[in-house]
Amino acid sequence: MATKIQIARPTKMELARLKKRLKLALRIQKIVKDRLSILVMEFIQTIKESARLRRRLHEEMALAHTSFSLTAGYHGYEPLKKELLSVETALKIRAESRNVAGVKIPMFEDAQDKAPYDEQRNPLDYSSHMEHTQTLARHCLETLVELAELQKSLDLLGIEINKVKRINNALEYVVIPSLDITIKYLNMKFEERDREEAARLKRVKLLIEQREAYAY
* Residue with the larger pLDDT of the pair 11 and 26: 26
The one-letter amino acid at 198 = A
Q: Are strands 103-110 and 93-100 parallel, antiparallel or unpaired?
A: antiparallel
Res. 27 pLDDT band, cuts 50 70 90: very high
For residue 88, CA distances in Å to 57, 78, 104, 153 come to 21, 15, 33, 29
Q: Is 5 within the bounds of a domain?
A: no
pLDDT in the model for residue 189: 85
Number of domains in the chain: 1
Q: Is 36 within the bounds of a domain?
A: yes
pLDDT above 70: residue 116: no
* Residue with the larger pLDDT of the pair 166 and 116: 166
What is the spatial distance between Cα 54 and Cα 148, in angstroms, rounded to a whole number? Answer: 11
pLDDT above 60: residue 114: no
Q: What is the mean pLDDT of residues 53-62?
A: 93
* Residue with the larger pLDDT of the pair 102 and 43: 43
What pTM does this model have? 0.74
Neighbours of 95 (CB within 10 A): 11
Q: Is 2 within the bounds of a domain?
A: no
Three-state DSSP class for 104? strand
Domain span including residue 164: 12-215
Say what percent of the chain tops pLDDT 70: 82
pLDDT in the model for residue 45: 95
Q: Is 157 within the bounds of a domain?
A: yes
Taking only the tens place, the pLDDT of each residue in 163-172 is: 999 999 999 9
Res. 6 pLDDT band, cuts 50 70 90: low
* Residue with the larger pLDDT of the pair 125 and 173: 173
pLDDT in the model for residue 4: 58
Q: Is 96 within the bounds of a domain?
A: yes
Res. 154 pLDDT band, cuts 50 70 90: very high
Q: Is 4 within the bounds of a domain?
A: no
pLDDT in the model for residue 171: 94
Give me the phi and psi of 4, to 5 degrees please. Answer: -70, 140
Q: Is 92 within the bounds of a domain?
A: yes
Q: Is 101 within the bounds of a domain?
A: yes
CATH of the domain at 162: 1.10.287.3240
The answer to whether 27 and 202 have CB atoms below 8 angstroms apart is no
Dihedral of the alpha carbons of 172, 176, 178, 179, in degrees to the nearest 10: 180
Q: What is the mean pLDDT of the chain?
A: 82
